[in-house]
Chain A
Amino acid sequence: MRFSLGKWLLPVYSALALIFLLIPIGYTFVFSFNNSLKSNVQWVGFTFDKWLHVCDAQGVCAAFGTSILVGIIATVIATALGTLMAIALVRYKFRARSAISLLLFLPMATPEVVLGAGLAAQFLSAGVPKGLVTIIIAHALFCLSFVVVTVKARVASLDPALEEAGRDLYGSPGQVFWRITFPLLLPGIIAAALLSFALSFDDFIITRFNNGGVETFPIFVYTAAARGVPAEANVVASAVFLLALIMVIVAQTTSAARRKRLAKLTL
């Protein structure tokens, strides 16, 4: 019998790759139940205490709250501006349109260290005190490119005849935007908003340069790591991960159900 490479090599390789990917998440999750005192490095014993009293550890919840606040405000700003830019870039011909399209990729391609340091220098020379506001400005800035790219794809796939039909049917420009363009772009806009929230929540490097004394969750974890990350940080991280997982599962199952219903109706 011929030695079949694909028969067992591929599954084993896939399993190893998956385990490799999931170990850090698994570790974080498991150690959120560790009954540790200060440093959460060695397994002491199982407890639900850390989940029940997350906010007892100093700074965890405040940092988490800051991250959520920054994420939401930066996302709203980036999504609103980015959506308008995406529509303009696809729909209208104007001076330097392709140049702007290209320039929008730059923040994505620039190393975060450079972006963060550059911003910090600008804030310094402009005399803007570093703090919550500078973090939000910095986050809105780097999220903007991602929003434009995501929404642009959606705008490009939108049939311009739909908006023309709206105008033809007595819709004023505002009505056409809110009743036709916006609802049809909404899936793209939501995707862009989720992406930019995730990017903002996650960001460490750019934030580190512009935070002043304000601690976001990643900054808190980094600072805490010097003297031992409290298990409560694991709880927050695990909770965020679980929340994201639940959202994905819900989205998948509802869209599958809708497809099924649609297929049944069209038959």
Chain B
Amino acid sequence: MVGSAFAEAGADLELVGIHKRFPGFTAIEDLDLRIPAGSFFALLGPSGCGKTTTLRLVAGLEQPTSGRILIGGKDVTDVKSFKRPVNTVFQSYALFPHMSVLENVAFGLRRRGISDPVGKAHEALQLVELDHLAARRPQQLSGGQQQRVALARAVVNRPALLLLDEPLGALDLKLRRQMQLELKSIQDDVGLTFLHVTHDQEEAMTMADTVAVMNKGAIEQMGAPEELYELPRTAFVANFLGQSNLFTGPVISSKGESMVVDISGVKIEVPKDRSQRHNGEVTIGVRPEKLSVHSEAPAKAAGVNVLGPGRVTDVSFSGVSTQYLVAVPGLGPITVFSQNMVFGPIANLGAEVWVSWTVDHGFGLADDPGDAPRFASDTNTATIATQTRNELLAEIGEG
């Protein structure tokens, strides 16, 4: 698979029925994923959700317990990592401290016996604007510079698939923004398939064409960033990707395009085609920035949900917008983001307010916020003890 030639273009990545178990816990549970060639794909999730393990499986640094991995249609499940047409930008960069920046970048080219490794390494360093530091050792560079060297070292090999493991995690906010743009433009230039693993939802949304939200070893929802944000299907996605106001209650009527849910006496209308479930207890939600705050009860109108009156319990100013927490009796605190169109807050702490939103902005989830996790958490002492015992048994040769 690894010839002397560069990959002409990115390749499809396909994961089929992947399971990965480590002693004592399951990292990935039945994962199916298809990433089309040339796309910028982000795996988004909290730490411990299995996203880095997924990446390591694709790189060949871990073996799946079961399932197949296909790159460009070829099964690479049993192919050793150094024979896969894949390169990784590691979270810690993993630059070789005993080599110059130039030799770091040329390493992959030399191993494959590609002609003119030094010239190509210089070109790659020019791409990340670091050619003037080619003679230095990695430890003489700043964090941002090291990150760019790590990127150049991977990109120079023109892999069919480039894996990025939280490469921007160690950078400060400004540098991070700059690197996000740079990464995106490099991806456009070289046309490779990028698989980016991150826990930063903003990073995933600004950079990727497709985002898959991962939780507890499985993909919760996958789609374009706007789609995921506007129409989350599970409580986890609704809360991990931005914030959401969620309410749970029974469906009391359903006619035409929308259904009405009774939330402790308050009736809230939700479009049916934006809801995963249409009867029984359902959880519905709305994004905080879709809400408006009114200091007087707004006139009842078709297609608008109104809650209130409630009390403002918190006001926090954040530049472009102000966040209000409104306590509506029976509904708990509701978060509202309001753009700062006027000077000063539109409602003060303790003020009596109403909250409204267009019915079309609501969404209905497939699960409830309190749903049991997919598989039991492994962080209790009993599982840790079992795990330790198994390790010990394995070590003394009984395992």
How many Å lie between the Cα of A184 and that of B81 in the bound state?
21
Complex contact B111–A170 (CB within 8 A): yes
Chain B residues closer than 8 Å to A99, beta-carbon distance: 396
Q: List A24-65 residues whose CB lies under 8 Å from chain B.
A: none
B107 close to chain A: CB less than 8 A: yes
Interface string of B247-288 (1 = CB under 8 A from A): 000000000000000000000000000000000000000000
Chain B residues closer than 8 Å to A180, beta-carbon distance: 96
B338 close to chain A: CB less than 8 A: no
A260 close to chain B: CB less than 8 A: no
Complex contact B140–A266 (CB within 8 A): yes
How many chain B residues touch the partner (CB < 8 A)? 34
How many Å lie between the Cα of A176 and that of B61 in the bound state?
14
Complex contact A184–B111 (CB within 8 A): no
Complex contact A171–B107 (CB within 8 A): yes
Chain B residues closer than 8 Å to A173, beta-carbon distance: 82
A169 close to chain B: CB less than 8 A: yes
Complex contact A161–B394 (CB within 8 A): no
Q: List B135-153 residues whose CB lies under 8 Å from chain A.
A: 136-137, 139-140, 153
Determine how close the nearest CB of chain B comes to the CB of A258; give it in whole angstroms: 11
Chain B residues closer than 8 Å to A262, beta-carbon distance: 137, 139-140
Determine how close the nearest CB of chain A comes to the CB of B155; give it in whole angstroms: 12
How many Å lie between the Cα of A176 and that of B108 in the bound state?
11
How many Å lie between the Cα of A112 and that of B378 in the bound state?
49
How many Å lie between the Cα of A265 and that of B142 in the bound state?
12
Given contacts A95-B396, A170-B82, A265-B136, contact A165 B157 (CB under 8 A): no
Main secondary structure of the interface of A (DSSP, over half): helix
Complex contact A164–B61 (CB within 8 A): yes
How many chain A residues touch the partner (CB < 8 A)? 29
How many Å lie between the Cα of A266 and that of B111 in the bound state?
30
Complex contact A170–B394 (CB within 8 A): no
How many Å lie between the Cα of A166 and that of B61 in the bound state?
11
Complex contact B395–A96 (CB within 8 A): yes
How many Å lie between the Cα of A165 and that of B149 in the bound state?
13
Chain B residues closer than 8 Å to A167, beta-carbon distance: 60-61, 80-82
B242 close to chain A: CB less than 8 A: no
Chain B residues closer than 8 Å to A95, beta-carbon distance: 394-397
Determine how close the nearest CB of chain B comes to the CB of A39; give it in whole angstroms: 54
Closest chain A residue, CB of each to CB of B105: A169
Chain B residues closer than 8 Å to A122, beta-carbon distance: none
Given contacts A265-B136, A266-B140, contact A168 B395 (CB under 8 A): no
Q: Which of A96, A97, A161, A175 contacts B111 (CB 8 A)?
A: A175
Chain A residues closer than 8 Å to B82, beta-carbon distance: 167-173, 176
How many Å lie between the Cα of A176 and that of B110 in the bound state?
12
Given contacts A171-B111, A184-B98, A262-B140, contact A165 B88 (CB under 8 A): yes
Given contacts A170-B82, A262-B140, A266-B140, contact A98 B90 (CB under 8 A): no
Closest chain A residue, CB of each to CB of B98: A183
Chain A residues closer than 8 Å to B136, beta-carbon distance: 265
Interface string of B124-137 (1 = CB under 8 A from A): 00000000000011
Given contacts A95-B396, A97-B395, A99-B396, contact A169 B98 (CB under 8 A): no
Given contacts A164-B90, A164-B94, contact A169 B107 (CB under 8 A): yes
Closest chain A residue, CB of each to CB of B137: A262
Closest chain A residue, CB of each to CB of B165: A161
Complex contact B111–A98 (CB within 8 A): no
Chain A residues closer than 8 Å to B88, beta-carbon distance: 164-165, 168
B112 close to chain A: CB less than 8 A: yes
Closest chain B residue, CB of each to CB of A98: B395
Complex contact B97–A184 (CB within 8 A): yes
B234 close to chain A: CB less than 8 A: no
A2 close to chain B: CB less than 8 A: no
Chain B residues closer than 8 Å to A162, beta-carbon distance: 94, 96-97
A7 close to chain B: CB less than 8 A: no
B37 close to chain A: CB less than 8 A: no
How many Å lie between the Cα of A11 and that of B281 in the bound state?
83
Q: List A67-126 residues whose CB lies under 8 Å from chain B.
A: 93-99
Given contacts A159-B92, A175-B111, A262-B140, contact A168 B86 (CB under 8 A): yes
Complex contact B395–A161 (CB within 8 A): no
How many Å lie between the Cα of A224 and that of B8 in the bound state?
77
Q: List B26-83 residues whose CB lies under 8 Å from chain A.
A: 59-61, 80-83
Q: Which of B87, B140, B391 contacts A265 (CB 8 A)?
A: B140
Determine how close the nearest CB of chain B comes to the CB of A180; give it in whole angstroms: 6
How many Å lie between the Cα of A176 and that of B94 in the bound state?
13
Q: Which A residues have a C-beta under 8 Å from some C-beta of B? A: 93-99, 159, 161-162, 164-173, 175-176, 179-180, 183-184, 262, 265-266
The 4 closest A-B pairs by CB, nearest first: A95-B397, A169-B108, A165-B94, A161-B94
Known: A168-B81, A172-B111. 13 other contacts (CB 8 A): A93-B391, A97-B395, A161-B90, A161-B92, A164-B61, A164-B94, A165-B90, A167-B80, A167-B81, A168-B61, A169-B108, A169-B153, A179-B107
Q: Which B residues have a C-beta under 8 Å from some C-beta of A? A: 2, 59-61, 80-83, 86-88, 90-92, 94-98, 107-108, 111-112, 136-137, 139-140, 153, 157, 391, 394-397
Between A and B, 10 residue pairs with Cβ closer than 8 Å are: A95-B395, A161-B94, A167-B61, A169-B107, A169-B111, A170-B108, A170-B111, A176-B82, A262-B137, A262-B139
